Amino acid sequence: MANELLNPYQEFKDDGNTPLALGSLEFFVNGQEVTQKAIFSDSALSTAQSNPYTLDDFGQVRGDVHYSGEATIVVYNAAGQRIRRLDDVVASSPGDTNLITIYEPSVAAMVADRDLVAGDVVRTAAYYANENIGGARYLIVAAGTGTADNYLIHNLGNGLQASLLDREKRCEFIYAGARGDGGSDDTTAMQRVINACTEIEVPSGFTFAASNLTIPHNIRFFGGGVIKQLGNSSGDLFQLTTIAVTSVKFKGVELDGNQQNGNAANSTFGWVLSA
């Protein structure tokens, strides 16, 4: 299946947010800038287009550009000066109108990518490097758009920020950086999600260890995973911040007070709650 830079028209801008009028896009075999990649005007890949591809007076792609597999795209201004490089570019999705989705292996890689500009959409394969969990989609926005919490908003190395998209689909601890391995301290990541969501999935196969989580609003946890008191920790697994929190529900989630690991006083051990 051919990949395509979808219409309506993608617009490319310089670092100062000015459209790259009459700039160009050069397509290469993914991961390098040596061998050009063939591009076509049709999804059958039968009608070749010139590579580099010239943008219009508004810095836009005015036509269909198709190619096979992933590509590295180098963006130039009208004078032929190299502006930036995009790796791992595949088809944009219909929800990314006017935007190319840039693929990064992890959130850390996104944070370190100094070529990202405001308006880019980034899809990460994982939260941590070399772990195929925690992928999400982010919109690159101007500095100061929001308060960075390493979940909804990340500060980037180039001074911009990444804002989490599809937030309602990402109410899982993994997407805020929790490891869910039962031994790591996931408290900070879990608290970020609890603060942002009212419906949180705790998926089967993961054990999230934490201590003194505070619940600021009515909330429901569901799934088949485990929430466990962190070993050798003091205090409670959960605390309510106000008496206004009248509804905290668990469905299929196991609560483990972790009595076997330094928490002898905890009474919650292996409960599976359903509500």
pLDDT per position as a tens digit, 155-197:
999 999 998 876 544 688 888 888 898 889 999 989 988 988 8
Q: Is there a single domain that holds both residue 137 and residue 199?
A: no
Q: Is there a single domain that holds both residue 156 and residue 243?
A: no
Range of the domain at 12: 2-169
Count of residues in the chain? 275
Q: Is there a single domain that holds both residue 132 and residue 60?
A: yes
Q: Is there a single domain that holds both residue 151 and residue 194?
A: no
Q: Is there a single domain that holds both residue 195 and residue 230?
A: yes
Residue 264 has pLDDT above 60, yes or no: no
Residue (of 169, 131, 161) closest to 143 by Cα position: 161
Residue (of 159, 109, 112) closest to 134 by Cα position: 109
Residue 124 has pLDDT above 90, yes or no: no
Asked which of 3-17, 49-63, 81-95, 187-201 is least confident by mean pLDDT, the reply is 3-17
Q: Is there a single domain that holds both residue 187 and residue 240?
A: yes
Task: State the DSSP string of 109-145.
Answer: HHHH-TT--TT-EEEEEESSTT-S-EEEEEEEE-TTS
Q: Is there a single domain that holds both residue 200 and residue 76?
A: no
Q: Is there a single domain that holds both residue 156 and residue 260?
A: no
Residue 268's pLDDT is 47
Q: Is there a single domain that holds both residue 159 and residue 93?
A: yes
Residue (of 215, 221, 211) closest to 241 by Cα position: 215
CATH code of 83's domain? 2.170.14.10
Q: Is there a single domain that holds both residue 256 and residue 164?
A: no
Q: Is there a single domain that holds both residue 152 and residue 209?
A: no
Q: How far apart are CA 2 and CA 68, in angstroms?
A: 5
Single out the residue in 150, 169, 188 at which a domain terminates. Answer: 169
Total domain count for the chain?
A: 2
Residue 18 has pLDDT above 60, yes or no: yes
Single out the residue in 169, 195, 219 at which a domain terminates. Answer: 169
Q: Given the DSSP bridges, would you call strands 213-215 and 181-185 parallel, antiparallel or unpaired? A: unpaired
**pTM strictly above 0.85:** no
Q: How far apart are CA 194 and CA 172, in angstroms?
A: 9
Structure tokens at 194: 């609890």
Residue 16's pLDDT is 58
- DSSP assignment letter at 187: H
Single out the residue in 144, 169, 194 at which a domain terminates. Answer: 169
